[in-house]
Amino acid sequence: MFISPKLSLSDILGRGYTDAIARANDFLGVMSYEESMAIADEKIDFYPEEKQKKNDALLEKVGTQIIEPFANDLKGAATNAFKNATNTALSPVTGFGNFRIGEDGKLYLVGKSEHYHTPLGHRFDGYKLIDNARKLGVLNATHNNTRGYITRLMERRIVQMANGIDWDDEAAADAIINSDDENVLNRVINLETGSLACEAGLKMMLARFYKLDPTFPEPKYAGKIPVFFIMGDTKGGIEANYHGTTVVAQTLRGLWPQIREKADNEGLYKVVPVSINDLGDFEEKIKKYNSGNYKTCGFSHEIILMNYGGIRLTKEFLQGAYALCREYDTPTMCDEIQSCMWYEGAFLFRLYGLTPDFSIVGKGFPGGEYPASKIITNAKMDTLNQFGALVTNGQEELASLAYLITMTFMRANGAIVSSLGKRFDAGLKAIAAKYPEKLVCAEGLELLAALHFNTVDEAAAFAGKMKGACIDSSVMLYKANCVPALLMKPPFIASEATIDYILNTIDTLLGE
């Protein structure tokens, strides 16, 4: 069973803050002080035992007709690309825990966590504190110049987690946050999407070559051609990486080829792929592109390439690459949009023993409640002014509260999440060994998982079988050089029973 914290807003945010709101409410005449404090002090059971048991009980209903189909012909007003990709039968009527009821009336197991952003499933009780915050009068809308108390508290807590500091050790937190050590992650920029967070990192890299505005001092590497290192695909191309949908980030992964080629030809910037888990290739290229008029601008990577077959970068490769980056003054950006909050401690880079210059987080932290991503960086890369990377809604107080709630649950359950992830990992590896004629291997790490097939057609056909069994999974069909892989990512509240259900279903379908 998962540990279920029982906490109030006053417990998480501090009674001094909730007392201030209560007094303000009393003055405004919207609620008495006593009524406000009753809301602020209400204990919420984050994941009650009866809900955990209900999650397991629903497994036997997966794939069955729960309600009559919700018949409708509403198409919306999407672009052609979105219309072609939409499957309204799978669109949610509602959900519970690890499950979604589609418009077709069937019960689905969210084996991919609704595309990676619901680590706590649906209707997680801990998020009832957000409802209480609304009742209490916590304002969601703030601005960059009026970052609220909850957002400032979230920033402090996320820096503590990124540095492995216990939340109760306030002295250590103060020392980290006030440090000018260039290797310490202690600066947070609040943005809305992972794309914008990644873009902020890319801009900070470029700021060492180009001025953000004319008032800035001459950059350290002015006149040099900045070279981005990204993860290359198995054919030597640049399709294995994914760092968002802004223009520069898309040029890093093969989109806008004419823009990238012109940027290269004109010496604006260059994109260089490094081979997966090949430290020799990395060393050869970092030496080459730190000579003449070239200078490595930064190394951007995920740890689990969930947009490229779920391939896992090894600890030895990344630690070696980071050492070379330090030697050649090359910033490192660890994009954890996919992996944050699915591992004990919330940050996979910590389990790898890495010290990146940028950590990009989102998706998992707000638990699907809000679009809220962050870039966490250090003193060395604190190179932009306020308008270099900001969004009006990036400081939302309720989104920051969602972060605090999710982090609180992970702090209590990290070891359990790790144990369940290892169970899933071992089960998939056993299945791959059982069906060597059908599967190449099991990839990924713990709950971020992939099964590699021999061909794209085989992978796509098996994804169809999983869909028929009403378990979400996906196959990446839009990348020409991608490994044929079935991708999965169960919520981290997936119990042993849920893990075993997915494994048994995969085993059965492969054996048919």
pLDDT at 391: 85
Report angle CA 262, 275, 244 to the nearest 5 degrees.
55
Whether 506 contacts 63, CB under 8 Å = no
Q: Is the dihedral of CA 368, 372, 378, 380 positive or negative?
A: positive
By C-alpha distance, which of 374, 24, 14 is closest to 170? 14
High-pLDDT (> 90) share of the chain, %: 91
List the alpha helices (DSSP H) in 189-246.
194-206
Q: What number of helices (H) and strands (E) belong to the chain?
A: 18, 18
**CA dist 396 → 130, 143, 369, 410 (Å):** 12, 8, 12, 22
Give residue-wise pLDDT tens across range 447-461. Answer: 999 999 999 999 999
Q: What is the DSSP string of 466-479?
A: HHHTTB--EE--S-
For range 320-332, the mean pLDDT: 98
Which of left, alpha, beta for 86 (phi over 0: left; psi -120 to 50: alpha)?
beta
High-pLDDT (> 70) share of the chain, %: 99
Is 311 a residue whose pLDDT tops 70? yes
Q: Please, which pLDDT band fits residue 269 given cuts at 50, 70 and 90?
A: very high
User: How many residues are recorded in the chain?
Assistant: 512
Is 115 a residue whose pLDDT tops 90? no
Amino acid at 423: R
pTM here is: 0.96
Give residue-wise pLDDT tens across range 298-310. Answer: 999 999 999 999 9
Give residue-wise pLDDT tens across range 405-426. Answer: 999 999 999 999 999 999 999 9
By C-alpha distance, which of 336, 386, 387, 393 is closest to 359? 336
Residue-wise burial string across 234-264, b where 16 or more C-beta atoms lie within 10 A, e elsewhere: eeeebbbbbbbebebbbbbbbeeeeebeebb
Looking at every residue in the chain, the average pLDDT score rounds to: 96
Is 124 a residue whose pLDDT tops 70? yes
Token pair of 163 as six digits: 């540095």
pLDDT at 389: 86
For range 66-83, the mean pLDDT: 93
Cα separation, 1 vs 137, whole angstroms: 34
DSSP character for 266? T
